[in-house]
Chain A
């Protein structure tokens, strides 16, 4: 066996180990688009919560109007479904390009390990909504989403772990400073997604 043959063998082993264990069909653009949806959603929410004239300052009044809460939840759900839909469509496209199955051991792992914190967080937030703990919802969204990314990152790109850790940090800050929930929410789901999406896209 020659040197270049040995090198080729080693690099093919390496790539196979990566491809078998990691879901690499995630598309950077789906992060960017998810960020844009979140910013649009946050703007709609902002228009709804803050009356004209007030700025992004600490609110003296508390959001507890039932219809506003329902509308805000609907906006968040629409953003969530658009983001997931975009991610699935773009990933399927990328997987086809790379001739990889979209449903493989790595994507299953990603779904299960990201799904557990995500589902837990989602249910907890629904319980908070039901019981009227509105102040804790924005930080909880960020923290549980961050935990889901960190836990799923084992099955995909390493950058996802950093995105997750940033979301957790933002979530904790948001919990520290109640009243700025919407601002932190847009920073976490909007700005961070766009930044990390662009980083992944240009890699």
Chain B
């Protein structure tokens, strides 16, 4: 049962990041930070981890002179997120 839970989503913030990216086409760093109320460093390290798993894609560009980093969920990431949700739902059904 427990194997179905994705290790990458053990951290609550990573799961939250994925929920936001699955619900939106793409999301920028600042908006993620404001919504999740985390520090720059904390958010950056979790984003890096998700990127390493291949769950999110990073898109760096500039708006004027300001760097604008946008993140989006990859197909692989969406599949992993859905799998995790199904595992959660299964757990609830089993215990009923």
Contact = CB atoms under 8 A, between A and B. Distances in A.
Q: Is chain B's interface secondary structure helix, strand, loop, or mixed overall?
A: helix
B92 A7 contact: yes
Contacts of A105: 24, 27-28, 31
Nearest to B87: A6
Interface string B9-28: 00000011001101110011
A10 B5 CA distance: 13
Contacts of B3: none
B95 interface: yes
Given A13-B85, A20-B35, A3 B91 contact: yes
B16 A16 contact: yes
Interface in A95-117: 101, 104-105
Contacts, number: 53
Nearest to B32: A20
A13 B87 CA distance: 14
A10 B20 contact: no
A7 B95 CA distance: 11
B27 A1 contact: no
B88 interface: yes
Interface in B43-96: 85, 88-89, 91-92, 95-96
B88 A9 contact: yes
A21 interface: yes
Given A9-B15, A20-B27, A1 B91 contact: yes
A19 interface: yes
**What 4 A-B pairs are tightest by C-beta distance, nearest first?**
A17-B23, A20-B20, A3-B95, A21-B23
